[in-house]
Amino acid sequence: MKNKVCSTQVSVKRRSWSWQQYLNEQKSEAAPLSLFTQSQSVPSRRNGFKVGMKLEGVDPLHPSMFCVLTVAEVIGCRLRLHIDSYSECYDFWVNSDSADIRHAGWCKDNNHRLHPPKGLSETDFDWQHYLQSTGSHAAPPTLFTCRSCGFHVGRKLEAVDRKNPGLVCVASVADVIGDRFLVHFDNWDDTYDYWCDSSSPYIHPVGWCEEQGRPLTPPQGHSNPENFLWEEYLQQTGSTAAPSSAFTLRAPHGFQVNQKLEAVDRRNPMLIRVATVTDTENYRVKVHYDGWPQQFDVWSDSDHCDLHPVGWCQRTGHPLEPPPGQTDGSEGHWLKGERRTGSSPTSPSQGVCPTRGCRGVGHIKGAKYTGHHRYTDLLSHDVFDHEGVVSHRPSPAAESSLQAALHQSVFLSAMSAQPSRDLSLCWEQHRKLLPGVSAVHAEMVQHWSVQEVSDFIESIPGCEEQAKQFRDEQIDGRAFLLLTQRDIVKIMSMKLGPALKIFNSILMFKHAEDRSQSPAEDCCQSQYDTTSLHFSSNRRAGFSS
């Protein structure tokens, strides 16, 4: 399966597209370079990272954890990092000058806990032995960026909960790296932690809420949440407040509506797209991906490292995705009104997504997988009119046939053993082999925990041993539904017999969903929805006084 697009091939195909010509056609202007921070601008030094290099870095899903990482892909000055011994669905992208990555041995030198690959204990892990046993080498320390910070571990502050922005909560400095520190909400787990610097608008000194007349959310389980007092709490915890002088609130950004920039695609982070600022707040901007419906617009901090000035991709050697319909050289994009000729549809067994308008670059959970959550996420520009709705809408009969075909191409595995076989024809056979599955819908499965997925795998005859592997890989219901046959056989290294049973159960879950709703409805939600499901805004209900 083609999991990634050759950057050289893509860049060649994009050469016919010009920023200057596009700005003139749109009668718009590029966002000035002065509006971008150092982390958003072109790095001052060349990217020296190579595929296979080992390093240490922050786990984006658990910001307090440092893991052993490997450079899995390099595009321009961006890196796709793989967490050693874990599934590729946890890979993530960073810039080469990211403050979240450190050289091998940094944790030991700076008294930080390093989580080694599965199967290795923290006490026995040794970088030199690990590099020798894996036949790899560490990234040189000179490739990493280091800065300084005035905050200290253990100091208290008041901080906005980024997942529930209406709440300001009691927090602590949990870690310090360079000029950034980790905000941890007292008595909550680390999934709500985030890294920031002293200029962040989301942090405030102790007493800020009282001065502003805003409610302060006390720590979870506090004995007297209605009458929380900082003086008592600092005395009880034996801690001190971060000094007010340490907070250096930055000025609001200067971005204006309609200014152009280059932005990482949140749904498919290996891509950087042409984008426009469509709305602004003091410290945030709303980003619209040019040529795509407004439903894909995203709000972003103005200093987020995924936003870049016009020309950033060209100067760093990274492919830039033009708006759909703006180039005649890009596979999967056509000029308005043009039709592709002289080519036959691609067979799913060839490893290329057969959905018209898709280049085989998906956004399923993870940084490199090629699947899709729904067919509307990847329809080409010529399927939509300028208002973002489907043009030339087919008749009801034709629409039903079209949606069935789209569902087949999007949701079924590109490596299925019998990709052309209609699932409904073998429904009875699957149902008899896997009793109890036919009544379960994908909507139910996507909410399963890791343990529930493991229990289900264990209930499949002959798959008892595979259940433990699903637990070890931390595969929950949402990730389970996104697995392809290739993922199960090749990446998880399972025998074909159990793999087919497991994959058939996934197909049956999805088909059961289709039998009760229109195929056009979502079987799985996007990565954004995953965040909202995992981090409910009601998690601090009862502590909002």
> How buried is 134 (Cβ within 10 angstroms: 0-12 exposed, 13-18 middle, 19+ buried)?
middle
491-497 mean pLDDT: 85
CA-nearest of 170, 180, 236, 167 to 206 is 170
pLDDT, greater one: 510 or 528: 510
The per-residue DSSP string of 469-509 comes to HHHHTT--HHHHHT--HHIIIIIS---HHHHHHHHHHHHHH
- Quote the strand ranges of 178-329, DSSP E: 180-185, 194-197, 203-204, 260-264, 272-280, 284-289, 298-301, 307-308
Which residues pair with residue 498 across a beta bridge? none
**What letter would DSSP give residue 321?**
B
Residue ranges of the alpha helices (H) in 85-126? 106-109
**Sheet (strand 307-308) strand order:** 298-301, 284-289, 272-280, 260-264, 307-308
| Total number of residues shown for the chain | 545
**Predicted pLDDT at 367:** 60
Q: Mean of the per-residue pLDDT values for the chain?
A: 77
Secondary structure class of 234 (helix, strand, coil): helix
Which residues pair with residue 58 across a beta bridge? 66
233-249 mean pLDDT: 93
**CA dist., res. 277 & res. 29, Å (int):** 11
Predicted TM-score of the model (pTM) = 0.59
How far the first Cα of the chain sits from its last, in Å, is: 53
b/e per residue 94-107 (b: at least 16 CB within 10 A): bbbbbbbbbbbbbb
**Predicted pLDDT at 136:** 95
Which of 42-46, 269-273, 367-371, 483-487 has the highest mean predicted lDDT (pLDDT)? 269-273
Domains of the chain: 54-143 (2.30.30.140), 156-241 (2.30.30.140), 423-530 (1.10.150.50)
- Please report where in the chains the tokens 């809420």 appear, as a residue: 209
Lowest mean pLDDT, pick from 306-315, 368-377, 430-439? 368-377
Which of the four pLDDT bands, split at 50, 70 and 90, describes residue 322?
very high
Secondary structure class of 511 (helix, strand, coil): helix
b/e per residue 248-281 (b: at least 16 CB within 10 A): eeeeebebeeebbbbbbbbbbbbbbbbbbbeebe
pLDDT, greater one: 389 or 308: 308
pLDDT digits (tens, 9 = 90+) for 160-206: 999 888 999 999 999 998 889 999 999 998 889 999 999 999 999 99
Asked if pLDDT for residue 209 goes beyond 50, the answer is yes
Cα-Cα-Cα-Cα dihedral sign, residues 456, 462, 464, 467: negative
Q: Beta strand 284-289 with 272-280: parallel, antiparallel or unpaired?
A: antiparallel
pLDDT digits (tens, 9 = 90+) for 85-128: 998 889 999 999 898 999 999 999 888 999 999 989 998 899 99
pLDDT digits (tens, 9 = 90+) for 243-259: 998 898 999 999 999 99
Residue 228's contacts (CB-CB under 8 Å, 6 or more residues apart) are 170, 216, 218, 222
**CA dist., res. 251 & res. 438, Å (int):** 57
237: number of Cβ within 10 Å: 14
Cα–Cα distance list, 98 to 52, 56, 238, 331 (Å) = 18, 12, 34, 31
**Predicted pLDDT at 359:** 53
Residue 377: phi and psi, rounded to 5, are -75, -15
**Predicted pLDDT at 257:** 97
Type of residue at 85: S
**CA dist., res. 15 & res. 496, Å (int):** 44
**CA dist., res. 453 & res. 440, Å (int):** 13
